[in-house]
Amino acid sequence: MHKVIFDTDPGVDDAMALLFLHAAAQVELIGITTTFGNGTIETTTRNALYIAERFGIAAPVAQGAGVPLVGEAGDPPHFVHGHNGLGDIELPTTLSRQPDPRPAHRLIIDLIRANPGEVEIVAVGRMTNLALALREDPGIAALVKQVVIMGGAFGIDGVLGNVTPAAEANIWGDPLAADEVTGAAWPLTMVGLDVTQKTRMPTEYLRTIADEAGEAGRFIWDISRFYEDFHQKGGVDSIFVHDSSAVAYLLDPTLFEIRRGEIRVVSKGLAFGQTIQKPAAPPSPRVTGMAARFIKSAPASTPMRSAASTRQPCAVWPEPVRR
Protein backbone atom coordinates (compact mmCIF):
# COMPACT_ATOMS: atom_id res chain seq x y z
CA MET A 1 0.00 0.00 0.00
CA HIS A 2 1.27 3.46 -0.94
CA LYS A 3 0.72 6.12 1.74
CA VAL A 4 0.65 9.26 -0.36
CA ILE A 5 0.77 13.00 0.23
CA PHE A 6 -0.37 14.77 -2.93
CA ASP A 7 1.10 18.27 -3.30
CA THR A 8 -0.86 20.00 -6.03
CA ASP A 9 -2.18 23.16 -7.69
CA PRO A 10 -5.52 22.08 -9.24
CA GLY A 11 -5.56 22.66 -12.34
CA VAL A 12 -7.23 20.38 -14.86
CA ASP A 13 -4.47 17.78 -15.05
CA ASP A 14 -3.99 17.98 -11.27
CA ALA A 15 -7.67 17.15 -10.79
CA MET A 16 -7.32 14.15 -13.09
CA ALA A 17 -4.27 12.95 -11.15
CA LEU A 18 -6.07 13.39 -7.83
CA LEU A 19 -8.94 11.22 -9.03
CA PHE A 20 -6.41 8.69 -10.35
CA LEU A 21 -4.90 8.42 -6.87
CA HIS A 22 -8.35 8.24 -5.25
CA ALA A 23 -9.38 5.39 -7.57
CA ALA A 24 -6.19 3.34 -7.13
CA ALA A 25 -6.82 0.44 -4.76
CA GLN A 26 -3.15 0.34 -3.77
CA VAL A 27 -3.08 3.98 -2.61
CA GLU A 28 -3.97 5.39 0.80
CA LEU A 29 -4.21 9.12 0.26
CA ILE A 30 -3.26 10.58 3.63
CA GLY A 31 -2.95 14.26 2.77
CA ILE A 32 -3.57 16.84 0.05
CA THR A 33 -1.52 20.03 0.15
CA THR A 34 -2.08 22.96 -2.17
CA THR A 35 0.26 25.43 -3.75
CA PHE A 36 -0.03 28.32 -6.18
CA GLY A 37 0.51 27.78 -9.90
CA ASN A 38 -2.43 26.92 -12.13
CA GLY A 39 -4.40 29.39 -10.01
CA THR A 40 -3.90 31.58 -7.00
CA ILE A 41 -3.53 29.71 -3.71
CA GLU A 42 -7.14 30.58 -2.89
CA THR A 43 -8.33 29.09 -6.20
CA THR A 44 -6.25 25.91 -6.02
CA THR A 45 -7.29 25.28 -2.41
CA ARG A 46 -10.95 25.81 -3.26
CA ASN A 47 -10.59 23.36 -6.15
CA ALA A 48 -8.92 20.71 -3.99
CA LEU A 49 -11.67 21.06 -1.36
CA TYR A 50 -14.36 20.90 -4.05
CA ILE A 51 -12.96 17.70 -5.55
CA ALA A 52 -12.52 16.14 -2.12
CA GLU A 53 -16.10 17.00 -1.19
CA ARG A 54 -17.67 15.95 -4.48
CA PHE A 55 -15.88 12.60 -4.69
CA GLY A 56 -15.72 11.68 -1.02
CA ILE A 57 -11.97 11.96 -0.54
CA ALA A 58 -11.37 11.83 3.21
CA ALA A 59 -7.75 13.04 3.26
CA PRO A 60 -7.18 16.42 4.94
CA VAL A 61 -6.63 19.35 2.59
CA ALA A 62 -4.15 21.98 3.77
CA GLN A 63 -3.53 25.33 2.12
CA GLY A 64 0.08 25.98 1.29
CA ALA A 65 2.33 28.62 -0.13
CA GLY A 66 0.88 31.43 -2.20
CA VAL A 67 4.21 32.84 -3.37
CA PRO A 68 7.65 31.39 -4.20
CA LEU A 69 10.52 31.46 -1.73
CA VAL A 70 11.82 34.54 -3.52
CA GLY A 71 9.81 36.98 -5.61
CA GLU A 72 6.17 37.10 -6.65
CA ALA A 73 3.83 34.39 -7.90
CA GLY A 74 2.89 36.05 -11.17
CA ASP A 75 -0.40 35.60 -13.00
CA PRO A 76 -1.96 32.13 -13.29
CA PRO A 77 -2.18 30.64 -16.81
CA HIS A 78 -5.90 31.24 -17.31
CA PHE A 79 -5.51 30.45 -21.01
CA VAL A 80 -4.60 26.84 -20.08
CA HIS A 81 -6.89 25.93 -17.17
CA GLY A 82 -9.56 28.62 -17.28
CA HIS A 83 -10.14 31.40 -14.78
CA ASN A 84 -11.38 29.00 -12.10
CA GLY A 85 -8.61 26.45 -12.74
CA LEU A 86 -11.07 23.69 -13.70
CA GLY A 87 -11.82 24.57 -17.28
CA ASP A 88 -14.38 27.21 -16.27
CA ILE A 89 -17.04 24.62 -15.44
CA GLU A 90 -19.75 25.80 -13.07
CA LEU A 91 -18.68 25.45 -9.43
CA PRO A 92 -20.68 25.87 -6.22
CA THR A 93 -20.35 29.16 -4.40
CA THR A 94 -20.01 27.48 -0.99
CA LEU A 95 -18.45 24.23 0.24
CA SER A 96 -18.94 22.10 3.34
CA ARG A 97 -15.33 20.90 3.40
CA GLN A 98 -12.93 23.19 5.20
CA PRO A 99 -9.13 23.20 5.00
CA ASP A 100 -7.01 21.68 7.71
CA PRO A 101 -5.94 24.45 10.14
CA ARG A 102 -2.26 23.66 9.65
CA PRO A 103 -0.28 25.22 6.81
CA ALA A 104 0.60 22.68 4.12
CA HIS A 105 4.26 22.36 5.03
CA ARG A 106 3.34 21.62 8.66
CA LEU A 107 0.84 18.94 7.60
CA ILE A 108 3.59 17.38 5.48
CA ILE A 109 5.95 17.30 8.46
CA ASP A 110 3.32 15.89 10.81
CA LEU A 111 2.27 13.13 8.41
CA ILE A 112 5.87 12.09 7.75
CA ARG A 113 6.70 12.08 11.46
CA ALA A 114 3.59 9.99 12.17
CA ASN A 115 4.45 7.46 9.44
CA PRO A 116 8.27 7.17 9.36
CA GLY A 117 9.60 5.33 6.33
CA GLU A 118 6.15 4.94 4.78
CA VAL A 119 5.17 8.24 3.17
CA GLU A 120 5.50 8.82 -0.56
CA ILE A 121 5.10 12.38 -1.81
CA VAL A 122 3.70 13.02 -5.28
CA ALA A 123 4.32 16.69 -6.06
CA VAL A 124 2.83 18.14 -9.24
CA GLY A 125 3.06 21.90 -8.67
CA ARG A 126 5.61 24.39 -7.42
CA MET A 127 7.96 22.78 -4.88
CA THR A 128 7.52 25.57 -2.32
CA ASN A 129 5.64 23.53 0.30
CA LEU A 130 8.26 20.79 0.25
CA ALA A 131 11.09 23.30 0.56
CA LEU A 132 9.38 24.99 3.51
CA ALA A 133 8.91 21.61 5.20
CA LEU A 134 12.61 20.81 4.73
CA ARG A 135 13.66 24.21 6.06
CA GLU A 136 11.55 23.78 9.20
CA ASP A 137 12.42 20.11 9.80
CA PRO A 138 15.37 18.84 7.70
CA GLY A 139 15.20 15.47 9.43
CA ILE A 140 12.05 14.47 7.55
CA ALA A 141 14.08 13.72 4.41
CA ALA A 142 15.47 10.55 5.98
CA LEU A 143 11.95 9.43 6.90
CA VAL A 144 10.35 9.69 3.43
CA LYS A 145 10.03 6.58 1.31
CA GLN A 146 10.25 8.48 -1.98
CA VAL A 147 9.35 11.71 -3.73
CA VAL A 148 7.92 11.71 -7.25
CA ILE A 149 7.78 15.07 -9.02
CA MET A 150 6.04 16.10 -12.19
CA GLY A 151 8.35 18.81 -13.38
CA GLY A 152 11.42 19.73 -15.33
CA ALA A 153 12.76 18.71 -18.71
CA PHE A 154 16.10 17.14 -19.55
CA GLY A 155 16.42 17.53 -23.30
CA ILE A 156 15.73 13.88 -24.09
CA ASP A 157 14.76 13.69 -27.76
CA GLY A 158 14.96 17.48 -27.85
CA VAL A 159 12.27 18.13 -25.22
CA LEU A 160 13.02 21.36 -23.34
CA GLY A 161 10.88 23.92 -21.48
CA ASN A 162 7.26 24.92 -21.96
CA VAL A 163 7.40 28.36 -20.29
CA THR A 164 10.81 29.38 -21.64
CA PRO A 165 13.19 27.45 -23.89
CA ALA A 166 14.95 26.34 -20.70
CA ALA A 167 12.22 25.85 -18.10
CA GLU A 168 9.11 23.79 -17.36
CA ALA A 169 6.28 25.59 -15.55
CA ASN A 170 6.34 23.85 -12.16
CA ILE A 171 10.08 24.40 -11.78
CA TRP A 172 10.10 27.89 -13.30
CA GLY A 173 7.48 28.98 -10.74
CA ASP A 174 9.92 28.49 -7.84
CA PRO A 175 13.33 27.25 -8.99
CA LEU A 176 15.03 27.91 -5.65
CA ALA A 177 12.51 25.63 -3.93
CA ALA A 178 13.00 23.00 -6.62
CA ASP A 179 16.78 23.12 -6.18
CA GLU A 180 16.43 22.65 -2.42
CA VAL A 181 14.02 19.75 -2.90
CA THR A 182 16.17 17.96 -5.48
CA GLY A 183 19.19 18.46 -3.24
CA ALA A 184 17.60 16.92 -0.13
CA ALA A 185 18.64 13.50 1.13
CA TRP A 186 15.56 11.56 0.02
CA PRO A 187 14.95 9.25 -2.97
CA LEU A 188 13.53 11.46 -5.70
CA THR A 189 12.33 10.96 -9.26
CA MET A 190 11.39 13.72 -11.70
CA VAL A 191 8.85 12.83 -14.37
CA GLY A 192 9.42 15.68 -16.76
CA LEU A 193 8.16 16.92 -20.10
CA ASP A 194 10.39 14.29 -21.71
CA VAL A 195 7.72 11.82 -20.52
CA THR A 196 4.54 13.83 -20.35
CA GLN A 197 4.61 15.33 -23.84
CA LYS A 198 4.81 11.81 -25.25
CA THR A 199 1.92 10.60 -23.11
CA ARG A 200 -1.36 11.78 -24.55
CA MET A 201 -5.09 11.30 -24.22
CA PRO A 202 -6.95 11.77 -27.51
CA THR A 203 -10.54 13.00 -27.61
CA GLU A 204 -11.86 9.50 -28.30
CA TYR A 205 -10.24 8.16 -25.13
CA LEU A 206 -11.58 11.03 -23.04
CA ARG A 207 -15.05 10.40 -24.48
CA THR A 208 -14.76 6.74 -23.50
CA ILE A 209 -13.88 7.80 -19.94
CA ALA A 210 -16.93 10.08 -19.90
CA ASP A 211 -19.19 7.24 -21.08
CA GLU A 212 -17.80 4.43 -18.94
CA ALA A 213 -16.26 5.90 -15.76
CA GLY A 214 -19.33 7.29 -14.04
CA GLU A 215 -19.41 10.68 -12.35
CA ALA A 216 -15.61 10.97 -12.25
CA GLY A 217 -15.42 10.25 -15.97
CA ARG A 218 -18.01 12.89 -16.79
CA PHE A 219 -16.17 15.38 -14.58
CA ILE A 220 -12.90 14.68 -16.39
CA TRP A 221 -14.63 15.19 -19.73
CA ASP A 222 -16.15 18.47 -18.61
CA ILE A 223 -12.99 20.03 -17.20
CA SER A 224 -10.85 18.85 -20.13
CA ARG A 225 -12.89 20.68 -22.82
CA PHE A 226 -11.11 23.99 -22.14
CA TYR A 227 -7.77 22.23 -21.65
CA GLU A 228 -8.11 20.29 -24.90
CA ASP A 229 -8.98 23.47 -26.78
CA PHE A 230 -5.75 25.06 -25.51
CA HIS A 231 -3.74 22.08 -26.80
CA GLN A 232 -5.48 22.08 -30.18
CA LYS A 233 -4.87 25.79 -30.65
CA GLY A 234 -1.18 25.01 -30.11
CA GLY A 235 -1.19 22.29 -32.77
CA VAL A 236 -1.53 19.29 -30.43
CA ASP A 237 -4.45 17.03 -31.40
CA SER A 238 -4.77 15.52 -27.91
CA ILE A 239 -3.97 16.52 -24.34
CA PHE A 240 -0.61 15.96 -22.70
CA VAL A 241 -0.85 13.75 -19.62
CA HIS A 242 1.36 15.71 -17.26
CA ASP A 243 0.46 15.10 -13.62
CA SER A 244 -1.11 11.67 -14.02
CA SER A 245 2.19 10.44 -15.46
CA ALA A 246 3.76 11.00 -12.04
CA VAL A 247 0.99 8.89 -10.50
CA ALA A 248 1.58 6.22 -13.14
CA TYR A 249 5.25 6.14 -12.16
CA LEU A 250 4.31 5.72 -8.50
CA LEU A 251 2.04 2.79 -9.30
CA ASP A 252 4.24 1.03 -11.87
CA PRO A 253 7.76 2.38 -12.37
CA THR A 254 8.61 -0.53 -14.69
CA LEU A 255 6.75 1.32 -17.45
CA PHE A 256 9.50 3.92 -17.51
CA GLU A 257 13.14 4.18 -18.48
CA ILE A 258 15.17 5.69 -15.67
CA ARG A 259 18.33 7.77 -15.89
CA ARG A 260 20.07 8.27 -12.56
CA GLY A 261 22.28 11.15 -11.50
CA GLU A 262 22.42 14.31 -9.42
CA ILE A 263 19.93 17.06 -10.35
CA ARG A 264 20.32 20.81 -9.90
CA VAL A 265 18.00 23.66 -10.80
CA VAL A 266 19.15 27.03 -12.12
CA SER A 267 17.62 29.81 -9.99
CA LYS A 268 19.20 32.88 -11.59
CA GLY A 269 20.03 34.22 -15.01
CA LEU A 270 19.10 33.37 -18.57
CA ALA A 271 18.47 29.67 -17.81
CA PHE A 272 16.19 30.46 -14.84
CA GLY A 273 14.23 27.30 -14.00
CA GLN A 274 16.30 24.87 -16.03
CA THR A 275 16.74 21.36 -14.63
CA ILE A 276 20.20 19.89 -15.15
CA GLN A 277 21.22 16.31 -14.49
CA LYS A 278 24.67 14.78 -14.45
CA PRO A 279 23.94 11.17 -15.41
CA ALA A 280 25.53 8.63 -13.07
CA ALA A 281 26.45 6.42 -16.04
CA PRO A 282 25.63 6.06 -19.75
CA PRO A 283 22.18 4.58 -20.45
CA SER A 284 22.02 0.81 -20.66
CA PRO A 285 21.53 -0.91 -24.02
CA ARG A 286 17.98 -1.06 -25.29
CA VAL A 287 16.00 -4.08 -24.12
CA THR A 288 12.96 -5.50 -25.80
CA GLY A 289 9.48 -5.56 -24.38
CA MET A 290 6.94 -3.05 -23.22
CA ALA A 291 9.45 -0.75 -21.58
CA ALA A 292 13.16 -0.44 -21.12
CA ARG A 293 14.48 0.54 -17.75
CA PHE A 294 17.97 1.48 -16.62
CA ILE A 295 18.76 1.15 -12.93
CA LYS A 296 22.14 1.84 -11.40
CA SER A 297 22.41 1.74 -7.63
CA ALA A 298 23.94 4.86 -6.17
CA PRO A 299 26.46 4.57 -3.33
CA ALA A 300 24.78 4.16 0.02
CA SER A 301 25.82 7.65 1.10
CA THR A 302 24.45 9.35 -2.02
CA PRO A 303 20.73 10.24 -2.30
CA MET A 304 19.23 8.76 -5.44
CA ARG A 305 18.11 11.20 -8.13
CA SER A 306 16.27 9.89 -11.15
CA ALA A 307 14.83 11.38 -14.28
CA ALA A 308 12.15 9.23 -15.84
CA SER A 309 11.75 9.15 -19.58
CA THR A 310 10.04 7.22 -22.32
CA ARG A 311 11.35 6.49 -25.77
CA GLN A 312 9.55 4.60 -28.49
CA PRO A 313 8.46 1.84 -28.26
CA CYS A 314 8.19 2.34 -24.50
CA ALA A 315 4.81 2.97 -22.94
CA VAL A 316 3.86 5.15 -19.99
CA TRP A 317 0.12 4.59 -19.91
CA PRO A 318 -2.28 1.66 -20.18
CA GLU A 319 -3.08 0.39 -23.64
CA PRO A 320 -6.26 2.43 -24.35
CA VAL A 321 -4.32 5.71 -24.49
CA ARG A 322 -2.26 4.45 -27.41
CA ARG A 323 -5.27 3.61 -29.57
138-154 per-position pLDDT tens digit: 999 999 999 999 999 99
Task: Please compute the mean of the pLDDT values over residues 238-253 and round it to a whole number.
Answer: 96
| pLDDT at res. 307 | 67
The topology (CATH level 3) of 2-322 is Inosine-uridine Nucleoside N-ribohydrolase; Chain A (3.90.245)
Say which residues have a Cβ less than 8 Å from residue 241's Cβ, sequence separation at least 6: 13, 196, 199, 200, 201, 316, 317, 321
Q: How far apart are CA 86 and CA 84, in angstroms?
A: 6
Taking alpha carbons only, the member of 230, 259, 242 closest to residue 317 is 242
**Would the pLDDT of 73 be above 70?**
yes
Sequence ranges of the domains in the chain: 2-322
9 is catalytic: yes
Q: How far apart are CA 209 and CA 244, in angstroms?
A: 15
Q: What rounded mean pLDDT belongs to the chain?
A: 88
Of 14, 81, 242, 243, the active-site residue reads: 242
Of 2, 7, 9, 14, the active-site residue reads: 9
242 is catalytic: yes
